[in-house]
Amino acid sequence: MPVGDCENAFVETALKHGVQLVRYKMPWLNQRGHFGLPDSASAVAVPLEKIFASLGGKGAEQSVKRTTALPGDFIHEGTGTIIEVDEIQHFTSFRLQTFSFYPGALPLGFDVNQYSSLCERYSPLADKYRHSKSAVAFGVGGRQRQRAYYDALRDLATPAMGHPPLIRIPAPDGNGKAAFERNLERLLNALT
């Protein structure tokens, strides 16, 4: 499936159900990760540092990256709710690893147990996706670890910055239309 098809189908289906979503970038979700968060998000700095270290991140390299905002999937502007649609590459063993560092009291817009199960199910395939691609601060073969870290950054920083909990929509099959429809009730409840 060509890049962007899943997200395009998701947003088109949302619009058919009266839900308008737009692409987003937040200045506090930037390439520096937890090193680039404002003081108002300090409550999540420690778990993000632990996640970063557990994934083999190199702080000296991460902390000097640009503060260029990371592109995200969608935001519902009326509520400020951020929505990420996760295809197969998000369900790696590295992503599974991040969940063990999530603070228990942190509000999340998705079920961590469900996501953990999806990672266990799909990681044999997902771990092969761009497994040799390097990433700054994560080295050779670090792209998957970087993705897992940035996913955790979005999950933890979003409510810390005063937004509703980030909603994650699993779409390991790449079918954005079906992913929206499977989660229709949950989305409508969160966005009204």
Quickly list DSSP for 90-102.
G--HHHHHHGGGS
**Average pLDDT of the segment spanning 82-98:** 97
The predicted structure's pLDDT at residue 133: 85
What's the CA dihedral at 173, 166, 144, 129 to 10 degrees?
10
Q: Would you place residue 1 in the very low, low, confident or very high pLDDT band (cuts 50, 70, 90)? A: very low
The predicted structure's pLDDT at residue 3: 63
**Average pLDDT of the segment spanning 113-129:** 95
Please state whether the predicted TM-score (pTM) of the whole model is above 0.85: yes
The predicted structure's pLDDT at residue 2: 57
Res. 18: pLDDT tops 80: yes
Q: Would you place residue 101 in the very low, low, confident or very high pLDDT band (cuts 50, 70, 90)? A: very high
Least confident segment among 72-76, 138-142, 171-175: 138-142
Least confident segment among 78-87, 115-124, 130-139: 130-139
